[in-house]
A and B are shown apart, each in its own frame.
Chain A
Amino acid sequence: MHGYSGRVLHIDLTNRKRWVESKPEEWYKTYIGGVSMATRLCWENIETGCDPLSPGNPVCIANGLFAGTPVPVGGKYGMASKSPLTGFIGDSLSSSWFTVSLKRARWDGIVVHGASEEWVSVLIDDDKVDFRDASDLVGLSTTEAEEAIREEFGDDQIRSAVIGPAGENLVRIANVSNDGRKAGRTGHGAVWGSKKLKALSVRGTHGVQVADPEELLKLSYDILEAAQGPHTQKYRILGTSSNVLNMNKLGLLPTENYREGVFDDAELISGEYLHEHYKAKTIACAQCPIACEQVGHVKEGPYAEAMGHVEYESLFALSSNCGVNDMEASIKAIANCNELGTDTMSTGVTISWAMECFERGIFTQEDFKCERYPEGFEASFGDGMAMVRLTEMIAHRDGYMGDLLAEGTRRASAKLDEERGTESYQWAMNIKGLETPGYDARALKTFAVGLAVGTRGGCHNRTAAYDPDIKGWVDRFSVDETRGELAKSTEEYAAVYDTLPLCKFIRRCFTGKADREGAWPAIAKLINATTGWEFDYDDVDLIGERAHTMKKAFNVREGWTREDDHLPYRWQHEPMTKGPSAGHIVTDEELEYLKDIYYEAKGWTEEGLIPKEKLVELGMEDVAEEIGV
């Protein structure tokens, strides 16, 4: 095989053992890599029905097909486990040299089983696996932990994925960090923490064998050249935070826990403002010629020296959605999340839920007491300092509030409502337990169904159904019979990129056109030059459908039902009052109709289950046997 080693490394933390599993070429052709292969590994290795924070939930890592090759933006990998937030598949992507080292160590995937009794750091040194005492790493921030490991070995070629204090404290919105990038969403950090796995480090010394090196180099060079042109200019100069002003103008910028979609001070939290006043540098992921990540630096004041990687989704969650117009507080809050190891999106949306509880008089200053703040503090919308403090309290589970918010919005609201007889679930902004993204779906009706049916919950990256709404290809305010097929098409389009994986920001750099016709033939050439296979347009298209089906199958086996495809109460009952998106909600009738036509487009039953013949058609016979209907 070219492009793969054919080997998956299994590591058992309970018994400190390792073994190697060989996978046949057909398996790779079906699951490819990234989130698809990681989910498949999770399917094969999980104890079905287990508690996500129990030893039966494996950490599954699947390398990228193009990691370690010249293919631009191919230095990515997928991570999957059962999410402690959703109870369904938690799949994340990350880009870093960690994945390149893994490729050079000749591992296509890693499955971490069981749980250690003591904190452990695992070093994979080509074929060797060393279980090391990690007690000296406990309590270190993500950057500190990565640096400490590199220093210990005196080798900067060792690349690590680590958790911060939040993961150690089983914070359900904790993430995994590598080279400053994150496997961010769905709570992987807590799964690592439950295994007492602080770090996974890799040193790889082998080359990566591809089928046609000359062709791959030529194809890669052409993409590289295009990636320096106008198709990626917006990412290079301003990054994704340039979306703040766009979304605000469209009335879609989540403001004060999604009460509104227009933030009066949007200019002060915009990507343009960041660029002018706080931008320290832009950085790139491994193998990336674009370099989109904008690093903001606060030079003075209460947050002096804070440096945060400012993306749109982090920014909306930790600024307008908390009513905060102070870019310095946002940078500090983002920096805290990065270093303490929590997902910025879930952290911000959970804090905004608490702020709304405070404004409604449900929480008082007393509720925010903890060792560090013995008098407690007020936490109204707009209070940047309260927002920053809460990012720290969540990571450390400090006090009543830190411990409550560490559970994410779904569990926190359920606990509060049970304790105090409130109805705070009505403003707990999550889908399947995962906090919602920075696009208000009340006035994005295609996106609404894409989010509702999303296999990992409230995630914009896996559906991409905001594209037709926001770009005006359809009427975003209404529902019609095309939206089921559109939601299917956009989620499977995204799944192709998430499976190879390639960063979606490269999508216009193949031919200038981002659609399937523009990208799939070029991607087929990359796959073929790497593997020696003969993939065509249809084969590439199938990658997405298979990947998404695998994730849905995982959820079905874990007990998914049609009722799990829902939207937050607020989006279904409370219209916004300001801007061009005011007055809209997604009614029950609309949502159920959208689900009907989406399931139909997928070829599923009315209940959203997958017919056996559909799974067989996709080459997933063993999955058909288990969950097909």
Chain B
Amino acid sequence: MRVQVELFGLSRLIAGEREITLTLEEGATFRDVVRALAKQYPEMIGDVVQPDGETMQAPNILNLDGRRMIQPHQMDENLGDGDRIIVMSMSAGG
């Protein structure tokens, strides 16, 4: 299955891309997206992805199609084919 991943903030600066397509096994989860990102862009480990290579480094967070922030306990939920994931680096204030 294929999912689109939009990269905002630090993840975009590291990847040098605004958007990438990931090809994942059927039944892939949000955690698999993080694993794939860490594998494709090892420089993300530390600032965007935690050292375990499979969870997001706060305040970076995955968002599903602008509608739902993926919480740590939801990382093992399955993705749907064609889902659009956004890697957000949330700030506050300003």
- Is there an interface contact between B58 and A508, defined as CB atoms closer than 8 Å? yes
Partner of A467, one of B8, B60, B65, B92: B92
Q: How far is the CB of B16 from chain A (nearest CB, A)?
A: 11
Partner of B90, one of A246, A267, A461, A464: A246
* Chain A hits for B10, CB < 8 A: 233-234, 237-238
- Is there an interface contact between A504 and B47, defined as CB atoms closer than 8 Å? no
Partner of A272, one of B9, B61, B68, B94: B9
- Is there an interface contact between B69 and A471, defined as CB atoms closer than 8 Å? yes
Please judge, given known A-B contacts A251-B66, A508-B58, A580-B66, whether A245 and B94 are in contact too, CB under 8 Å.
no
**A contact residues, range:** 35 or more
Q: Mark B1-17, 1 if CB is under 8 A from A, else 0.
A: 00000101110110000
Partner of A238, one of B9, B65, B68: B9
* Chain A hits for B59, CB < 8 A: 231, 234, 508
Please judge, given known A-B contacts A242-B8, A272-B8, whether A460 and B93 are in contact too, CB under 8 Å.
yes
Measured in the bound complex, the distance between the Cα atoms of B70 and A312 in whole Å is: 24
- CB nearest to A505 among chain B residues: B93
Measured in the bound complex, the distance between the Cα atoms of B78 and A485 in whole Å is: 33
- By CB atoms of chain B within 10 A, which of A242, A250, A580 has the most? A242
- Is there an interface contact between A472 and B92, defined as CB atoms closer than 8 Å? no
Q: How far is the CB of B58 from chain A (nearest CB, A)?
A: 7
- Is there an interface contact between B71 and A472, defined as CB atoms closer than 8 Å? yes
Please judge, given known A-B contacts A249-B63, A275-B13, whether A240 and B93 are in contact too, CB under 8 Å.
yes
Measured in the bound complex, the distance between the Cα atoms of B9 and A238 in whole Å is: 7
Q: How far is the CB of B90 from chain A (nearest CB, A)?
A: 6
Q: How far is the CB of A210 from chain B (nearest CB, A)?
A: 28
For window 196-242 of A, CB contacts with B under 8 Å fall at 230-231, 233-235, 237-242
- Is there an interface contact between A230 and B46, defined as CB atoms closer than 8 Å? yes
Chain B CB within 8 A of A328 CB: no
Please judge, given known A-B contacts A234-B9, A245-B8, whether A314 and B94 are in contact too, CB under 8 Å.
yes
For window 14-73 of B, CB contacts with A under 8 Å fall at 18, 46-47, 57-61, 63, 65-71
* Chain B hits for A314, CB < 8 A: 94
Measured in the bound complex, the distance between the Cα atoms of B8 and A238 in whole Å is: 11
- Is there an interface contact between A472 and B68, defined as CB atoms closer than 8 Å? yes
Please judge, given known A-B contacts A249-B63, A272-B12, whether A230 and B57 are in contact too, CB under 8 Å.
yes
Chain B CB within 8 A of A137 CB: no
* Chain B hits for A466, CB < 8 A: 92
- CB nearest to A248 among chain B residues: B66
* Chain B hits for A231, CB < 8 A: 58-59
Q: Mark A292-313, 1 if CB is under 8 A from B, else 0.
A: 0000000000000000000111
Chain B CB within 8 A of A579 CB: yes
- CB nearest to A579 among chain B residues: B66
Chain B CB within 8 A of A470 CB: yes
* Chain A hits for B90, CB < 8 A: 234, 243, 246, 470-471
Measured in the bound complex, the distance between the Cα atoms of B12 and A267 in whole Å is: 12
Q: Mark A418-447, 1 if CB is under 8 A from B, else 0.
A: 000000000000000000001000000000
Please judge, given known A-B contacts A238-B9, A472-B68, whether A464 and B94 are in contact too, CB under 8 Å.
no
* Chain A hits for B70, CB < 8 A: 472
- Is there an interface contact between B13 and A312, defined as CB atoms closer than 8 Å? no
Q: How far is the CB of A484 from chain B (nearest CB, A)?
A: 22
- Is there an interface contact between B69 and A246, defined as CB atoms closer than 8 Å? no
- By CB atoms of chain B within 10 A, which of A231, A234, A473 has the most? A234
- Is there an interface contact between A312 and B94, defined as CB atoms closer than 8 Å? yes
- Is there an interface contact between B94 and A241, defined as CB atoms closer than 8 Å? yes
Q: Mark A390-403, 1 if CB is under 8 A from B, else 0.
A: 00000000000000
For window 38-88 of A, CB contacts with B under 8 Å fall at none
- By CB atoms of chain B within 10 A, which of A239, A250, A275 has the most? A250
- Is there an interface contact between A471 and B9, defined as CB atoms closer than 8 Å? no
* Chain B hits for A461, CB < 8 A: 93
Measured in the bound complex, the distance between the Cα atoms of B47 and A488 in whole Å is: 32
* Chain A hits for B92, CB < 8 A: 240, 464, 466-467, 504-505
* Chain B hits for A271, CB < 8 A: 9
Please judge, given known A-B contacts A246-B88, A246-B90, whether A580 and B65 are in contact too, CB under 8 Å.
yes
* Chain B hits for A460, CB < 8 A: 93
- Is there an interface contact between A311 and B94, defined as CB atoms closer than 8 Å? yes
- Is there an interface contact between B13 and A237, defined as CB atoms closer than 8 Å? yes
Chain A CB within 8 A of B75 CB: no
Q: How far is the CB of A515 from chain B (nearest CB, A)?
A: 11
* Chain A hits for B46, CB < 8 A: 230
Q: How far is the CB of B10 from chain A (nearest CB, A)?
A: 6
Measured in the bound complex, the distance between the Cα atoms of B30 and A472 in whole Å is: 16
Measured in the bound complex, the distance between the Cα atoms of B37 and A466 in whole Å is: 28
* Chain B hits for A467, CB < 8 A: 92
Partner of B93, one of A267, A504, A508: A504
Partner of B91, one of A242, A250, A473: A242
Measured in the bound complex, the distance between the Cα atoms of B93 and A464 in whole Å is: 9
For window 301-354 of A, CB contacts with B under 8 Å fall at 311-315
* Chain A hits for B61, CB < 8 A: 471
- Is there an interface contact between B47 and A233, defined as CB atoms closer than 8 Å? yes
Partner of A234, one of B68, B86, B89: B89
Measured in the bound complex, the distance between the Cα atoms of B32 and A311 in whole Å is: 34
Q: Mark A267-285, 1 if CB is under 8 A from B, else 0.
A: 1000110010000000000
Q: How far is the CB of A606 from chain B (nearest CB, A)?
A: 32
* Chain B hits for A233, CB < 8 A: 10, 47
Q: Mark A114-129, 1 if CB is under 8 A from B, else 0.
A: 0000000000000000
- By CB atoms of chain B within 10 A, which of A235, A243, A312 has the most? A243
- Is there an interface contact between B88 and A249, defined as CB atoms closer than 8 Å? yes
* Chain B hits for A313, CB < 8 A: 93-94
Measured in the bound complex, the distance between the Cα atoms of B10 and A473 in whole Å is: 23
Q: How far is the CB of A95 from chain B (nearest CB, A)?
A: 12
- Is there an interface contact between B93 and A234, defined as CB atoms closer than 8 Å? no
**Sample (20) of A-B pairs whose CB atoms are under 8 Å apart:** A230-B47, A231-B59, A239-B91, A239-B94, A240-B92, A241-B94, A243-B94, A245-B8, A249-B8, A250-B66, A272-B8, A272-B9, A312-B93, A314-B94, A438-B94, A467-B92, A470-B69, A472-B68, A473-B71, A505-B92
B residues adjacent to A (C-beta < 8 A): 6, 8-10, 12-13, 18, 46-47, 57-61, 63, 65-71, 86, 88-94
Given contacts A243-B91, A471-B69, A473-B71, 12 further A-B contacts (CB under 8 A): A234-B60, A238-B13, A240-B92, A242-B8, A246-B8, A250-B66, A471-B90, A472-B68, A504-B92, A508-B59, A580-B66, A580-B67
A-B complex: 3 closest residue pairs judged by Cβ atoms: A472-B69, A240-B94, A312-B94
